[in-house]
Structure 1
Amino acid sequence: MTISLSIRGAACAAILALSASPTAVLAGAHPAPEVALEAALARTPETGPAKNIILFIGDGMGVSTVTAMRILAGQRAEMDGASYDLAFDAMPYGGLVRTYSVDGLVTDSANGASAITTGHRTVNGGIGVDGGARCGVCDTSRHVPTLAQRAKRELGKAVGVVSTAAITDASPAAFFAHSPDRNWQSDADMPAAAQAAGCIDIAAQLVLAEEDLRPDLALGGGLTFFRPEGAGGRRKDGQDLPALWSARPNSAFVTDRDGMNAAIAAGHDVLGLFAEVHIPHEVNRPAVAPQTPTLEEMTRAAIQRLAAEPQGYVLLIEAAHIDKAHHAGLLNAALTEGVELSKAVAAAQDLTDAAETLIIVTADHSHGLVLNGGGRGDDVLGLIKGPTGAPRLAGDGRPLPILVYSTGPGGPEAEEGRPSLEGVDVTAIDHVRQAGVRLGSAAHTGEDVPVYADGPGAYLITGSMDQPYLFQVMRHALRLPAVAP
């Protein structure tokens, strides 16, 4: 009995060591369990076909990232973060999605997004190609149609793609392109042998695709991949792709918010490229690029334009900088991008009818973010505190942040151990968060990612799912046949 009590006491002490002093818990937005049950019992699944599909990808948004996003969003709204609801938390259906590639336990964005948009797992680095492809080897027989291409060609639906990254980056490209190497964003990035074998760079595929495959709207970054050398770009073939886009009837190329809004109001097909490569992180964008639209603004513009199409539409919206900020260890920036994703989802819900639009929110892969402890009222970007409010010290005698990375540029040098953090503002937007193992760029991780859904066919999003299953749900919701004709 003495041993048992001692163990229990030690366990309790360990738990308390990771908790802050008690604080008042503010009211949250999540419904009480009994209310949630009543809502579930009253729910009637939408089993009919979907006129529209909106697929949100929070790049790098694993379960722990969603938890941290939720807490931060709630705290910024002056509510209890733990019980707060992001826009997609309130969706009625969801589950967990397994993420891996043909050649790895951990996927990159290219395979992860392609699995969702084509129904085929492929190699890391591959976009819109099947599992027999080899990274960097051009073989056009490996190309497989995307959901967007099939919806446009077979059903006459409009297609849109939106991202805070270059529109030629891995996840958005998986909606419209086919490449065994995600880095082939312009012809300057391709080996001569690949071009000779018939492969085309991703930017050219977006603009020069046949009319019944080409997206009607693309909003994001990546201007340098579309313009030739000598004209602010990197293309070696001399093609000015934005000029070719805007030369078509009822088409516009825009580079800022005002241009986007004017083109949308005019009902044009719109190519909006708002940055040379990636749109700035939202924590920096208002200061460095105030005329660049936010993810929410691009989402509203895209839906406004595509909703005018009588046959409906399919739309991919990527919050790319959750991942890109995670890679750099910029925790504040990463979670802020997640809050922006929630705003974009809320905008989509506001502008669509759940009886005709299937909305799915998921991720291509996860990141190694860990929530270590903290009190309910503590700033989730801060340090774990003790009863007096001072930081609690870990076994190395140094404070422990509430959130840390498993790998990344914030990892310790072998000789020095963890930094002391004395005098460091760990909540700052430029603070590089501590990591367990030092890497130049934080690594993806291989655990399941969450998925949330609402609308026609959403009831099929449940349990433990394989990533290509999400494609099958969307295909079924559109009533596309199992195999492309």
Structure 2
Amino acid sequence: MKSNQVILAGSILLTLAGTCSANNNINTPQKNDAWYKEAQRQIAKAKANKPIDKQAKNVILFVGDGMSIGTITASRIFEGQRQGMSGEEYRLNMETLPHLALSKTYNTDAQTPDSAGTASAMVSGVKTKQGIISIDDNVQRGFCNTGKGHEVKTAWEMAAEKGMSAGVVSTARITHATPATTYAHSADRNWENDASMPNIAKNQGCTDIAQQLVQFNKGKGLQVVFGGGRREFIPNTTTDPEGKKGKRKDGRNLIQEWKQRYPDGQYVYDKTGFDKLSKNTTRAFGLFESSHMKYEADRDKNNEPSIAEMTSKAIDILSKNHNGYILMVEGGRIDHAHHATNAYRAFTETIAFDEAIKTALDKTNPQETLIIVTADHAHTMIMNGYSDRGNPILGLSKKNGQFNKDEFGKRYTTIGYGNGIAAVNGPRNNPTQKEVLDPDYHQQALIKFSSETHSGEDVAIFAKGPEAFLFQGAVEQNYIFHVINEALHLTN
């Protein structure tokens, strides 16, 4: 380089240095703005958050069944408005977890997935087909013999083999697809009891899901089971304490068999029995409904525990094991409310689920417990139009205080569905505000189905605790198992 070029380069560097120095004194008139200051606080908080890179003692996997990202957004607004805010600024407990990723939810044979294949991926580390419970992709749904030899070992089975405690909590039937993946292997998610299975499957040696729950871990069992689904465990000739008949045709009462198999355990079926579970309880089996548990909006607080209460009790029981524990908590009825295009119940279920997450955060040490919050799949729920900030999330869309209208002059809600029961063959209705704010209202939908469908969008993963920082970017859903494995060292 020639001498004059060196001088010129030096002048440029000095100029740049001077510019950088000057930039330190740039006037930022917005620095006293509340939004600006809050973002600065969040930056400081993020900088202080350090990855926890060590083995976990415990893992809790929260699965909001059908809890799409849109559901999280709308539920956030819904709860914020219930607390007297505009709503948009509110923050759910799950949203405070520092590590985040997106989960790709497709099944190996389906762009839009179901809960069996998606939950199997999360608990086993491999993706599989729709309708399959913890068997790999080399299986044909409904054909028992095709699943033989292709069963995958789940994190719950691995943990139990290591001497850890294992538990499952759900507001759905405990034999339903998502919770069943932790302890069962089935070529069809619908084989919840023996009567639902074809004879050929039984003759080929397949057993129903309820029976597999009782026999989990070579008969050593799950330490905690809380949920619905009592009917799957008792004969169709037997009436349960709430007057509902069972489904089984084999004459077996699996609840009685569980009691005999686990004399150290306590079986309960209502809130009274649940509340009496003592601090010395080391094994509990609670079936609080014949089928699914009641929606949170309809729950009799004197008769059924909430998902937060079940989570709290599960942690108390499981924590007694010095080897640690693994627990799934499913908010199963978020999904059911979406299928019914009933946004009110979908949101109240999500908030109840979020309270269970808060319970877990309060009762555990982030240095030893990995908490993961995610969903198995999304739904077709959307947020429409250009509503003013603070407009009731369940209400009609408004702008500048006036109802927004479509090209035909009709009002519409902020929340809608791509398909569902409320679609019409012809011109749609022109709803009133009173009508749409009713908790029993079914949001309007585009395509008519008796039950709204899932959708194929990615879902969120929130995480906190040991190895939670491994959730980065967009990942395949089976990656969740591998983070659990990294945290618990389940495999070599």
Do both share a fold (TM > 0.5)? Answer: yes
Contact 1:28 1:83 in 2 (8 A): no
Structure 2 residue 351 is the aligned partner of structure 1 residue 345: no
> What residue is the counterpart of 1:88 in the other structure?
94
Contact 1:185 1:201 in 2 (8 A): yes
Decide whether the 8 Å contact of 1:245 with 1:252 is kept in 2: no
Letter matched to residue 236 of structure 1: K
| Aligned partner (choices 266, 278, 283) of residue 252 of structure 1 | 266
State the distance in 2 between where 1:335 and 1:448 align.
19
- State yes or no: 1:151 paired with 2:159: yes
TM-score when scaled to structure 2? 0.89
**Whole-angstrom distance in 1 between the partners of 2:93 and 2:255:** 35
Letter in 2 for 1:51: K
Change (3 A) 1:28 1:72: farther
Q: Given residue 134 of structure 1, which amino acid in structure 2 is its aligned partner? A: Q
Q: In structure 2, do the counterparts of structure 1 residues 204 and 129 end up closer, same or farther at CA, with 3 Å as the change threshold?
A: same
Count of residue correspondences: 450
CA separation in 1, counterparts of 2:183 and 2:55? Answer: 23
2:201 pairs, out of 185, 194, 200, with 194
Measure how far apart 1:33 and its partner are.
1.6
2:420 matched to 1:408?
Answer: yes
* CA distance in structure 2 between the partners assigned to 1:365 and 1:31 by the alignment: 36
Cα deviation digits, residues 187-215 of structure 1 (max 9, x gap): 00000011111111000000123456621
Residues 337/30 of structure 1: CA separation in 2 closer, same or farther (3 Å cut): farther
Corresponding residue to 2:482 among 450, 457, 472: 472
Secondary structure of 1:338's match? helix
The answer for the alignment partner of 1:45 in structure 2 is 51
**2-side partners of 1:67 and 1:436: how far apart?**
21
Whole-Å separation in 2 of the counterparts to 1:30 and 1:344:
32
Gaps of 5+ in 2: 1-32, 240-245
Query: Paired residue for 1:223?
Result: 230
Distance in 2 (alpha carbons) for counterparts of 1:343 and 1:353:
17
Alignment match, 1:301:
313
SS in 2 for 1:96: strand
Moved more, 181-190 or 396-405: 396-405
Maintained 8 Å contact 2:395/2:433: no
What amino acid maps onto 1:275 in structure 2?
A: E
Render the CA deviation track for 1:28-87: whole Å, top value 9, x for unaligned: 999922111111111111101010000000000111111001111111122232121100
Give the aligned CA root-mean-square deviation in angstroms. Answer: 1.8
SS in 2 for 1:142: coil
Q: Is the 8 A contact 1:264 1:270 kept in 2?
A: no
Question: Hey, what's the Cα distance between the residues in 2 that align with 1:156 and 1:209?
Answer: 13
Instruction: Specify which of 56, 81, 100 is matched with residue 75 of structure 1.
Output: 81
1:235-275 deviation line (CA, Å, top 9, x unaligned): 11111111111222211111012212322433141110000
Shift in alpha-carbon separation, 1:255–1:402, aligned structure 2, 3 A: same
Residue 110 of structure 1, CA deviation: 0.3
Alignment of 1:68-467 (within 5 A): 68-138=74-144, 139-153=147-161, 155-211=162-218, 214-232=221-239, 233-247=246-260, 248-286=262-300, 290-372=302-384, 373-387=386-400, 389-413=401-425, 415=426, 417-422=427-432, 424-467=434-477
Task: Give TM-score scaled by structure 1 length.
Answer: 0.90
Q: CA deviation at 1:101?
A: 0.5
Contact kept, 8 Å, 2:233 with 2:248, in 1: the verdict is yes
Aligned counterparts of 2:287 and 2:53: Cα–Cα separation in 1: 37
C-alpha separation in 2, matches of 1:342 and 1:444: 21
Letter in 2 for 1:135: R
Rounded to whole Å, the distance in 2 between the matches of 1:46 and 1:332 is: 38
Please list the CA deviations of residues 113-132 of structure 1 after superposition, one character each: whole Å capped at 9, or x if unmatched. Answer: 11001111111000110011
1:390 offset after TM fit, Å?
3.8
Q: Which runs of 5+ in 1 are unaligned?
A: 1-26
Seen in structure 2, the aligned counterparts of structure 1 residues 453 and 30 have a Cα distance that, compared at 3 Å, is farther
Identical positions, percent: 38
| C-alpha contact 2:282 2:318 (8 A) present in aligned 1 | no
Q: Which amino acid aligns with 1:148?
A: W
**Distance in 1 separating the partners of 2:399 and 2:360:** 42
Letter in 2 for 1:191: P
Structure 2 CA distance for aligned equivalents of residues 81 and 197 of structure 1: 55
Per the TM alignment, residue 424 of structure 1 is displaced from its structure 2 partner at its CA by: 4.7
The aligned counterpart of 1:17 is: none
- Give the letter aligned to residue 169 of structure 2: V
Give me the whole-angstrom Cα distance separating, in 2, the residues matched to 1:121 and 1:229: 35
Q: Which amino acid aligns with 1:404?
A: G
User: What SS is found at the alignment partner of 1:239?
Assistant: coil
> After the TM superposition, which segments of 4 or more aligned residues of structure 1 sit over 3 Å from their partners?
27-31, 210-213
Call closer, same or farther: CA 1:28–1:251 in 2, change over 3 Å: farther
> Contact conserved, 2:224 with 2:314, CA < 8 A, in 1?
yes
Q: Distance in 1 between matches of 2:130 and 2:410?
A: 38
Distance 1:218 1:37 in 2: 41
Task: Give the whole-Å Cα distance in 2 for the aligned partners of 1:395 and 1:424.
Answer: 22
